[in-house]
Structure 1
Amino acid sequence: MSNSAAEIAALKAEIAELQAQLAHAQQQAALFENVVKHLPIGIDLLQREDVNDPTSFRLIFSNGLMPNATIDLRLHIGKLLNDIFPDIPLAILNRYHQALNSGETMHLNELVMNLPEVGQRIAQLTAIPLSSDLLCIKVADITEQKQVLEAQRQMLEQQAVIHSQQEALADISTPLIPITDSVVIMPLIGAVDTRRAQQMLETLLHGISTMNTRFAILDITGVPIVDTQVAHVLIQAAQSVRLLGGQVILTGIRPEVAQTLVGLGVNLNDLIVRGNLQSGVAYATLERSR
């Protein structure tokens, strides 16, 4: 074989190798493009042509998946970003420029779009540097995420309002009413749970200590059920008031409540018990005059 024939054969082999490499590269590129096309986010690649000019970004790739966009960027590949979006703020281009210079991923602005068919959509733009002059812009639809966050915010506000209303209701449901300079009445109406019991005790002790009260009348006429918990609260209130120099007068014990307390084995020795509120007031007034 002549030298020329050998050179031609070597050249053909080199061409075949290059063609194989090209085919592989094209296959990889097609695979990459197919993957990117099916991502649930928009991917746009920008090439910066002048390191000193933030307006020199040129669109070189787009998967056309900017969420609900009114423009298909795939039709504008090869154009400068300024030509595609003449009204794009210079501040955004400067941020792109800054991201490339720093080499760090940056979360950019949120893009709000009002579309006739789907309404308002919100997209989050993120700049991801791929090289010194190649920038990837990720565009993610965060409308649902924003809606969830807004719903959570409203729920927290509602919970705060409910909590405030519960506190106000607790204050109303455990009033401390002074009838003389040394006698107060606390009428209890409705169920007494742990939270309300604590509120009642705090209100009572605060009133006793600040008003220098001698007698505190607890009227339970309006309490539908008196169980061990309620009885324990009454005894605790009596003992605490006694430590502050006062006495508790318990009124409004109905016959069925009395039977319940006896059945529970509750010791009411620390309380002064009167049948109704009128007799409790009379007792406190008489004792006060002594």
Structure 2
Amino acid sequence: MRFCGPGLLTEPLSPRRRCRMGAIMSEYENIVRIVFDNLDVIAWATDAQGTVKLSEGGALQAIGMRPGQFVGVNVLDLYKDRPETLGPVKQALAGEAHTSLSVENGRILETQFRPIRGPSSEILGIAGLSSDVTEREQARQELARQTDELRRLAELLDLTQDAIMTRTIDGTITYWNRGAERLYGHERGAAVGRDSHELLRTCFPTELAAIDRHLRATGYWNGELTHVRADGQEIVVASRWVLKRGEDGQADEVLELNTDVSARKRAEAEEAQRQQVLLAQAQAIQELSTPLIPVTDDILVMPMIGTVDSIRAKQIMEAILRGVADSRARYVILDITGVLVVDTAVAGALLRTAHATRLLGAEVIITGIRPEIAQTLVQIEANLERIVTRGTLQSGIAFALGKRQLDV
């Protein structure tokens, strides 16, 4: 007898016809096997109890199997300890067509499960078509990993207080982190696509063309820029630029990181101003501590008060020599009435000042020497032979005026 359909019998076949049909079916099966063996898929089928009836396809080699090797194996028994694989099989035997992924011998297979139904819609088994999608899934997983990494990196970039942006080589913003939003007051949606220099009204320390040349030549640039926030406030940033090149080696994109240094710059300016004030005060104090008073066109008086140390002695000499050179004075009166102590160092400074002044053509007169100071000068054997001394400032002025008249 022969089959006209599932479970249906017709008239018996003669031996000759049965042999011919057998040859045709054998040839047909060979053709099907050859076709599937040349396709990178696995075609398989089971009966209603899960026993494999068909297992063909070139992709079987990828999982270390031969065509037909699974025939006669019950997949329900084979995968009883692998619920992730057994589940989709039972789902198909229950009549649900679906597609799922599984791993066989390290290869990822994508399988289309289709129930095989009889004339009355009863489940006769399942048919499956499996494709090796290992490379595709690995690429997808790598893309997902990179996407997740980029997402986490973007989250980290958003946590920083610095403003970070990326822009094309011509200045168009392509990325704008939350730090940039906080610093400049421009939302990301309003910044992306804008020209960064135009948006921030950038003021450069030198010509932009020169900065661009340096960036292209070295791959980076550091410097201070002045930007304008959305509210109009001007800020100073320390800016770092890094150039990214494309696969062809051409300049492609710029990563720019900006740190607000406005507070530091204000502090530096305030400190510089404070130093200028201190310097001006020091100069004023120096001038007050070494006053040089003109009595006539050629007579100068320097009243000395307080303690004379090495620094002040140097200032006294510089002030006298500068005053004599500027005014061409002929007499300089050093009044030490207000000096409390004269020791070896002070005496030496006075003598050096007198000798240096004579080299400029002026004569030094020392006034206001009190008895205790005179005693000290004698004890230290100060050499005052070529220096005129007078007891008071008035007598010193009178002496200089008298010498002046005699010289005339």
Partners in 2 of 1:111 and 1:159 — Cα distance? 28
The residue that corresponds to 1:37 in the other structure is 155
Q: Does 1:235 align with 2:351?
A: yes
**Superimposed CA distance per residue, residues 79-109 of structure 1 (whole angstroms, 9 cap, x where no aligned partner):** 9625x99x959999xx8xx97x968656796
Q: Given residue 399 of structure 2, which amino acid in structure 1 is its aligned partner? A: Y
The residue that corresponds to 2:301 in the other structure is 185
The residue that corresponds to 2:259 in the other structure is 141
What does 1:240-251 correspond to in 2, within 5 Å? 240-251=356-367
Q: For 1:81, which of 174, 193, 201 is the aligned residue?
A: 193
Q: Does 1:64 align with 2:182?
A: no
SS at 1:222 equivalent: strand
What does 1:60-139 correspond to in 2, within 5 Å? 61-66=175-180, 68=182, 70=185, 72-73=187-188, 76=189, 81=193, 88=199, 110-113=226-229, 128-130=242-244, 131=246, 134-139=252-257
The alpha-carbon distance between structure 1 residues 15 and 122, as it changes in their structure 2 partners (threshold 3 A), is farther
The residue that corresponds to 2:382 in the other structure is 266
Partners in 2 of 1:240 and 1:102 — Cα distance? 62
The residue that corresponds to 1:22 in the other structure is 140
Partners in 2 of 1:190 and 1:27 — Cα distance? 80
Q: Given residue 138 of structure 2, which amino acid in structure 1 is its aligned partner? A: A
Higher helix fraction (1 or 2): 1
Partners in 2 of 1:165 and 1:247 — Cα distance? 32
TM-fit CA distance, 1:15: 1.9
Partners in 2 of 1:66 and 1:113 — Cα distance? 10
Q: For 2:393, which of 261, 277, 289 is the aligned residue?
A: 277
SS at 2:395 equivalent: helix
**Preserved contact between residue 164 and residue 177 of structure 2 (Cα < 8 Å):** yes
Partners in 2 of 1:166 and 1:267 — Cα distance? 33
The residue that corresponds to 2:28 in the other structure is none
The residue that corresponds to 1:217 in the other structure is 333
**Preserved contact between residue 202 and residue 228 of structure 2 (Cα < 8 Å):** no
**Preserved contact between residue 189 and residue 223 of structure 1 (Cα < 8 Å):** yes
The alpha-carbon distance between structure 1 residues 216 and 65, as it changes in their structure 2 partners (threshold 3 A), is closer
The alpha-carbon distance between structure 1 residues 18 and 70, as it changes in their structure 2 partners (threshold 3 A), is same
Q: Given residue 279 of structure 2, which amino acid in structure 1 is its aligned partner? A: H
Q: Given residue 370 of structure 2, which amino acid in structure 1 is its aligned partner? A: R
TM-score (norm 1): 0.67
SS at 2:357 equivalent: helix
Q: Does 1:201 align with 2:317?
A: yes
Partners in 1 of 2:330 and 2:202 — Cα distance? 73
Higher relative contact order (CA 8 A, sep 6+): 1
TM-fit CA distance, 1:236: 0.8
Q: Given residue 15 of structure 1, which amino acid in structure 2 is its aligned partner? A: V
The worse-fitting range, judged by mean Cα deviation, of 103-112 and 230-239 is: 103-112
TM-fit CA distance, 1:238: 1.5
**Preserved contact between residue 366 and residue 390 of structure 2 (Cα < 8 Å):** yes
Partners in 2 of 1:203 and 1:90 — Cα distance? 52
TM-score (norm 2): 0.51
The residue that corresponds to 2:373 in the other structure is 257
The alpha-carbon distance between structure 1 residues 62 and 30, as it changes in their structure 2 partners (threshold 3 A), is farther
TM-fit CA distance, 1:70: 4.2
Q: Where do 5+ consecutive residues of structure 2 fail to align?
A: 1-32, 43-56, 64-106, 109-131
Q: Percent identity?
A: 28
Total equivalences in the alignment:
271
Aligned-CA RMSD value = 4.6
TM-fit CA distance, 1:177: 3.2
SS at 1:138 equivalent: strand
**Superimposed CA distance per residue, residues 22-74 of structure 1 (whole angstroms, 9 cap, x where no aligned partner):** 323432442344234324234444579xxxxx79x584x5543325154552x
SS at 2:356 equivalent: helix
Q: Given residue 193 of structure 2, which amino acid in structure 1 is its aligned partner? A: L
Partners in 1 of 2:404 and 2:173 — Cα distance? 93
Partners in 2 of 1:233 and 1:67 — Cα distance? 66
SS at 1:81 equivalent: coil
SS at 1:167 equivalent: helix
Partners in 1 of 2:138 and 2:284 — Cα distance? 80
